[in-house]
A and B are shown apart, each in its own frame.
Chain A
Amino acid sequence: MHIRISHETRYRYDAPTNGVIQTLRLTPRNHDGQHVIHWRIEVSEDCRLDAHEDAFGNITHTFTAEGPFDELGVQVQGEVDVQDTTAVVRGAIERFPPSLYLRTTPLTEPDSAIVDFARDTNSRGDDALAMLHALLGRIHTEMTYDTDPTHTATTAAEAFALKRGVCQDLSHIFIAAARYLDVPARYAGGYFHRADGIVQQDAGHAWAEAYVPTLGWIAFDPANGICATDAHVRVAVGLDYLGAAPVRGSRRGGGAETMAVKVLVDQAARQMQN
């Protein structure tokens, strides 16, 4: 699928801020089945956008915008061609052996409830792939997608207790449970093209990738209850949301800050495949 993406993040400050420094993880990389045709980042203030690569291989852009200004916008536009690879992630940058992704983080620490949930899902002692599919299905059905009660700092345990959350929370729960069952898992952030025709979204999308020794890294999307298809554009990976967050930064001064995000994920002109 040929997907066109426009992602705009706009910050408004009550009082003009003196300066903002941000690290962006907004640029997808090529791997088997994903081909970036063009991609562009624009920042509304004059600044130098330095491209680097972080430890996981994500492309990061860092910039410092000198104030004073009371509005900052980061606009991302691009086109990506994604082919279905039956959710197997191949040809991507792998800087670490899979066992690194067994490490727990505060956001993905399993509490006793998640431990019970994981044990219960694995009660039949199935092989890893079947177990992960069962986990995916259970999280998708037993959790309710709700944007209200959680925020970006909500841990997996908190979201699991509420039985509500957004794709970030569901992915954290999946990762926490999978790691408890000794399956390396990581957080993947990116964009998802909706099949129901809704083009405008409030945020990017998040899902999880788990490592199965015979197959490699497989992408599971608990928010949609499916494995990744040719509608998923993978941008960044990390141990959890913090490692793959699209924007992280800080500012000097500026009073209260409000943030507005507008994401448009659309299918570009139809192209036949042979």
Chain B
Amino acid sequence: MLSRTADNMYWLARYVERAEYLARIIEATQRLTAVPTSDGATTNEWESAVATAGCAAAFFLAHKEANEQTVTDFLAFSPDNPSSIRSCFEVARSNARSVRTALTVEMWDAINGTWLELQKLGAGPASREQFANFLRWVQESSLRFDGSAYRTMLRNDAYWFSRLGVFAERADNTARILDVKYHLLLPPQEHIGGPLDYFQWAAILRCVSALTAYHWVYRESLKPWLIADLLILNDQMPRSLASCYAHLVEHLDNIARAYGRQGLAQRHARQVRTRLENSRMDEIFKGGLHEFIGSFIADNNRLGALITEQYLL
């Protein structure tokens, strides 16, 4: 298989996953801004959304203020933002076109159909209701692509590279949510978190579709350290860091077995997976949640670089 093909499969999957993530953030932020601030807390939710999407620097070059208008435009439609929803689908579709023969008919229909709809959309939906439908449609498009890959692709190296893209992006996304909102997950000091904190925590869980899952696993009211446990260490939760890395290790092992050699990418992924497997939440809090997440994001980026060096160049 050409490294260019592997590169296209990897990034195609990553960009489609990223588009879904951006839609989730915007939806979660819209829900949060509808909550009335209780004690005059001055959290700017839209600024936090831009930070969660990882493009704060680029945003503040283009816009002065972070409000619903500017942020939704920047994150969803701006052609100047290489990670807006529109740009994600553009790049994904051009990657898909390059490897048209490595995709199944369903996958191509999914990504091409999405791109064609996006062209029809033009500058952006007019009303708020249309925008809500748009966000729902983005998530469904991503699901349709991911689902058709899972259901129809042959389990060979093309499939595994695309899975690597999905899980690397998913781990990065969950880590970013935790990173931006980590201060909410630190154990409360003197006072018990009020209604505003509850909505913030619920928003974190909704972002990863884990609100019901939380109650299923822990059978308790929302507690910040259990939320952190669910999203970092719990294998059952498909978007947790531990689960993403279990899959990354599995697929890197599959690739290594197929090619008859393993290298730095496999070893690094195993190292991160082992660290997540062997950690406990109280140890992580003792060492500092923010530091832990920061070093995880660095490790995740390093894994992306190693995969690129080893297979995609």
Residues of A within 8 A of B (CB): 29-32, 35, 37, 57, 81, 83, 91-93, 271-274
- Whether B125 sits at the interface, judged by CB under 8 Å, is no
B147 on the interface (CB 8 Å rule)? no
Q: Point out the residue from B263, B270, B273, B274 that lies within 8 Å of A274, measured CB to CB.
A: B263
Given contacts A35-B270, A37-B253, A83-B267, contact A30 B260 (CB under 8 A): no
Scan residues 247-266 of chain B and give those whose CB is less than 8 A from a CB of chain A: 249, 253, 256-257, 260-264
Name B271's contact: one of A91, A92, A272 (CB within 8 Å).
Answer: A91
- For the side of the interface on B, what is the size category? 10 to 19
For chain A, what secondary structure do more than half of its interface residues adopt (helix, strand, loop), or is it mixed?
loop
Partner of B274, one of A91, A272, A273: A91
Complex CA–CA separation, A37 to B271 (angstroms): 14
Which B221-250 residues sit within 8 Å CB-CB of chain A? 249
B278 in complex: contacting residue of A30, A35, A37, CB < 8 Å: A30
Contact A31 B278, beta carbon cutoff 8 Å: yes
Chain B residues near A (Cβ < 8 Å)? 249, 253, 256-257, 260-264, 267, 270-271, 273-275, 277-278
Complex CA distance for A91 and B279, rounded to whole angstroms: 10
- The smallest beta-carbon distance between A251 and chain B, in angstroms, is 34
Which residues in A have their C-beta under 8 angstroms from that of B278?
29-31, 57, 91-93
Question: Nearest 10 pairs between A and B by C-beta?
Answer: A272-B261, A30-B274, A274-B263, A35-B270, A93-B278, A91-B274, A31-B274, A30-B277, A271-B262, A271-B260
User: Inside 8 A of B257's CB, which chain A residues have their CB?
Assistant: 271
Task: Give A29 to B253 CA distance when docked, in angstroms.
Answer: 17
In-complex Cβ contact of B256 among A29, A30, A57, A271 (8 A): A271
Residues of A within 8 A of B267 (CB): 83
Question: Which of B253, B260, B273 makes the CB contact (< 8 A) with A272?
Answer: B260
Beta-carbon nearest neighbor of A94 in chain B? B278
Is B253 a contact of A32 with CB atoms below 8 Å?
A: no
Report yes or no: A274 in contact with B275, Cβ–Cβ below 8 A: no
Question: Please, how many angstroms separate the alpha-carbon atoms of A99 and B271 in the complex?
Answer: 26
Known: A32-B271, A83-B267. A274 touches B261 (CB 8 A): yes
> Are the CB atoms of B270 and A271 closer together than 8 Å?
no
Measured between C-beta atoms, what is the minimum distance from A229 to chain B in Å?
17
Report the Cα distance A187→B271, complex, angstroms. Answer: 24
A35: nearest residue on chain B (CB-CB)?
B270
Question: Which residue from chain A places its CB closest to the CB of B256 in the assembled complex?
Answer: A271
- Which residues does chain B contribute within 8 Å of A31, judged by CB atoms? 274, 278
Q: Are B263 and A273 in contact (CB under 8 A)?
A: yes
How near does chain A come to B163, taking the closest CB pair, in angstroms?
17
Cβ contact within 8 Å between A91 and B256: no
**Residue contact A30 to B262, C-beta cutoff 8 Å:** no
CB nearest to B277 among chain A residues: A30
**Within 8 Å CB of B264, what residues of A?**
274
Bound-state CA distance A11–B31 (Å) is: 63
Q: Are B261 and A30 in contact (CB under 8 A)?
A: no
